[in-house]
Structure 1
Amino acid sequence: MKFAVFTDSTPEWAPEEAAKILAEQGWHGIEWRITDPVESSRPTFWAGNRATWPLTGLEAHLGDIRSVTQSAGLAMPALGGYVTPRQREDAERMLAAAAALDAGQVRFLGVNTEKGQSYREAFAAYRADWEWLEGRARHHGVRALLELHHESLTASASAARRLVEGLDPRYVGVLHDIGNTVIEGWEEPAHALDLLGEYLAHVHVKNVAFHLSGVQNDGTLRWEPKWVPLREGRADLAEFFKALAVAGYASWVTVEDFSVALPLAERTAANLEYLTGLARAAGYDLG
């Protein structure tokens, strides 16, 4: 098992700084955030994020991405894309970039129903999108990743398995994100991982807790999810790592921690120490 950081969670660092600090802390890899920038007066996770490579004209940046990553001695377990299979030109661009960079995998965003569309109609259309994507991933020799994500057609492992069933797992895989499933799509992790089987291709970890957001006039309590440090949320990560071991998963675990209780450098260092301990306790030999 190896550990990486997705740079959507390192907004304060420019690419060279992110790679250097993470390598010094002992991380094995970096999962680059690739999307066209959104301006902000200060760096945040989703706007003004400095650890981002632009999607438009991505081809011109491939040499820099490779150089920054390799100079730090890091690997790229996947590229963190923000496009869907319906964005055909951009999907092709991401797959080609993964092939050129030897990243091997690309995360694709999920979709939801559109106005006036039933879930079954949307699901059938999305399956057709993934059939197209499978062919393009095969062409480039890389794998397209379907992420379990709340507020999408495939929030759960069950829905994801149904979507990709019959597609070639060499070119289509599922990215299990336990933090997202806390919000929607929760299934017992051991069951979810077993269900995904050969389609389990990548893992993200973060954590979430529900906080009281308000009380209505009739006394009804309203709760909302908030990102919290890895040790503090609803997901039991110790049990999750044990489930990964039982499932035979021995590949990458990428962290995208959106909590802000600790300064960024302290947060990434503490996360690596914590996850390394969990992996060893689950029986992984980390060398």
Structure 2
Amino acid sequence: MKFSVFTASTPEWAPEEAVQHLAEQGWDGIEWRITDQADAAEPGFWAGNKATIPLTGMEDHLDRIATITTDAGLEFSGIGGYARCDNHADVDRMLAATAKLGAGKVRVTTPPLGTAAWGNEPASGTPYPELFANARRDFEWIAERAAHYGVKALVELHHRTITASASSALRLLDGLDPRHVGVIHDLGNLLIEGQEDYLPAFELLGDYLAHVHVKNAVWVNSGETDESGAAVYRNEWAPLRSGQGSVLEYFKALAAFGYDGWVTVEDFSTDLPLAQRTADNLDYLRSTAALAGLRVAAGRR
């Protein structure tokens, strides 16, 4: 098992700073965020993120990203793409970029639920069966294109999308070649929606379990009530050690399943300064993985 950081969670660092800090801390790899984003007065996870590579003109940045990553001694754990499965032109670009970088895997997003507002767009109102059937056709095409490039397209388990759970992701991909499509299991996202017992979910996915994301979350009472007078809860991101998800139990399930791939951290908590947060996360992940009986790479320190 190796550990990397998704650069959505390192918004204050320019790419050269990100690889320097992560390499010095002893991380094995990095997962670059590639998307067009809004500007912001201050760097943020989703806007003004300095460690994000723009999708527009992406191809002009690939040589630079490859050079600074390898020069720092880091590996690519994959690419954190945002191209949606029905945008075939950008999906194909992301697959080609992943092949050129030698990154092996790239996330391809699935549609939000018809009841979910997403980004700056209102809820579409499209029924789930229609969204799902269209996405299945998209992924049949994506699997062929991924095979053409010799890479793997990944579906992330993400709340408020058509693939919030392992079960739904398996339905989407079942029968497609697991050498070229797979699933990102995500501890934190599943605390919000889609939670299934860890080990059975891994067993269900089988060869489709291709990648793991780790972050944590909590549900808090908002202090508000709905029209019936019942309490309204909201989810918030939390540090790995203090969220509702047990990283130790998660790692024990990965060990029982025999997972030996990448674990990518995307910590969106802000309790600690960024450099302290990433360094502490690596220490915690390595010690917790050892407790769980996982075989961990020797590391760079």
Give the TM-score band, short-chain normalised. Answer: over 0.9
1:58 is aligned to 2:97: no
Selected match of 2:264 from 254, 257, 262:
254
Taking every aligned residue pair, what percent have the same amino acid on both sides?
A: 56
Structure 1 length as normaliser, TM-score?
0.98
Instruction: Name the SS of the counterpart of 2:76 in structure 1.
Output: coil
Which moved further from structure 2: 54-63 or 10-19?
54-63
Distance 1:206 1:113 in 2: 22
**Alignment RMSD, CA only?**
1.1
User: In the TM superposition, what are the counterparts of 1:57-96 in structure 2 within 5 Å?
Assistant: 57-96=57-96
Contact 2:78–2:105 (8 Å) recurs in 1: yes
Which moved further from structure 2: 261-270 or 230-239?
230-239
Aligned-residue offset at 1:77: 1.1
Question: Structure 1: which 5+ residue stretches go unaligned?
Answer: none
Contact 2:215–2:268 (8 Å) recurs in 1: yes
Structure 2 length as normaliser, TM-score?
0.93
Give the aligned partner of residue 273 of structure 1.
Answer: 283
**Paired AA for residue 64 in structure 1:** R
Give the aligned partner of residue 219 of structure 2.
Answer: 210
Contact 2:33–2:52 (8 Å) recurs in 1: yes
**Paired AA for residue 244 in structure 1:** L
Distance 1:154 1:284 in 2: 27
Selected match of 2:190 from 181, 185, 193:
181
The CA deviation string for residues 141-200 of structure 1, in whole angstroms up to 9 with x for no partner, is 000000000000010000001110000000000000110010000111111111111000
Instruction: Name the SS of the counterpart of 1:135 in structure 2.
Output: helix
**Paired AA for residue 65 in structure 2:** I
Give the aligned partner of residue 36 of structure 1.
Answer: 36
> Alignment length, in residue pairs?
287
**Paired AA for residue 5 in structure 2:** V
Give the aligned partner of residue 242 of structure 1.
Answer: 252
Aligned-residue offset at 1:116: 4.4
Aligned-residue offset at 1:218: 5.7
Contact 2:32–2:53 (8 Å) recurs in 1: yes
Give the aligned partner of residue 171 of structure 2.
Answer: 162
Selected match of 1:144 from 144, 150, 153:
153
Aligned-residue offset at 1:81: 0.4
Distance 1:276 1:113 in 2: 36
Distance 1:56 1:9 in 2: 21
Distance 2:150 2:291 in 1: 35
Give the aligned partner of residue 117 of structure 1.
Answer: 126
Distance 2:172 2:142 in 1: 13
The CA deviation string for residues 242-276 of structure 1, in whole angstroms up to 9 with x for no partner, is 10011111010000000000000000000000000
1:119–1:31 CA distance, 2 compared to 1 (3 A): same
Aligned-residue offset at 1:86: 0.9
Instruction: Name the SS of the counterpart of 1:78 in structure 2.
Output: strand
